[in-house]
Amino acid sequence: MTACKFCQIADGELAAEVVFADESVLAFLDYRPLRLGHCLVIPRIHYETLFDVPREELPELFATVQLVGRAMEAALGAEGVFVAINNRVSQSVPHLHVHVVPRRRKDGLKGFFWPREAYRSPEEQQRYAGLLREAIERLRSPQPAAPGLPPEDPAPRQENRPQGGGS
């Protein structure tokens, strides 16, 4: 993936201010930080989204996220960190990257960067929870495909909002 900027950084072809590197993970300063010290943690192997990463590779990736966050508290005096991942939407580089941003109380970052949406009723909230529980159960116990047919995509990408009373 030579066109991928993060692959080029991981291969040493593009410069970045690296703060941690091992054989499978790399952490470097974001060139347009939300706060000074804002880092991106990436797998060296090209995966577009979190969902593409093999499960066995996740512990090392998130151990590095944890390490970088702790380093921000120790070295920068951060009172905490904001950790975020965009999958496709708002993903500026199509290579999985975890944002780790140092935080302080009253630093100007207000919660999430988008408006919140309220459930219209407890019933609507329960419908959403039920839909997610059912999907999780299906994803954890995939059904075999009918003979001669490919398996169904367990996670369609279109929005699936519940009908009636929902937004």
Residue boundaries of the structural domains of the chain: 5-103
Q: What is the pLDDT of residue 73?
A: 93
**93 CB-contact burial (10 Å; exposed 0-12 / middle 13-18 / buried 19+):** middle
21-25, 95-99, 111-115, 161-165 — which is least confidently predicted? 161-165
**Number of helices (H), then strands (E), in the chain:** 3, 5
Q: Phi-psi region for residue 65, left (φ > 0), alpha (ψ -120 to 50) or beta? A: alpha
Q: What is the rounded average pLDDT of the residues 140-157?
A: 57
Which of 136, 75, 63, 77 minimizes the C-alpha distance to 105? 77
The pLDDT assigned to 155 comes to 43
User: Three-state DSSP class for 15?
Assistant: coil
Give the pLDDT band of residue 157 (cuts 50, 70, 90).
very low
CATH hierarchy code of domain 5-103: 3.30.428.10
Task: Give the pTM.
Answer: 0.75
**Exposed/middle/buried for residue 27 (C-beta within 10 Å: 0-12, 13-18, 19+):** buried
Is the pLDDT at 119 greater than 60? The verdict is: yes
pLDDT at 165: 41
Reported confidence tier of residue 79, pLDDT bands at 50, 70, 90 = very high
Q: What band does 142 get if pLDDT is binned at 50, 70 and 90? A: low
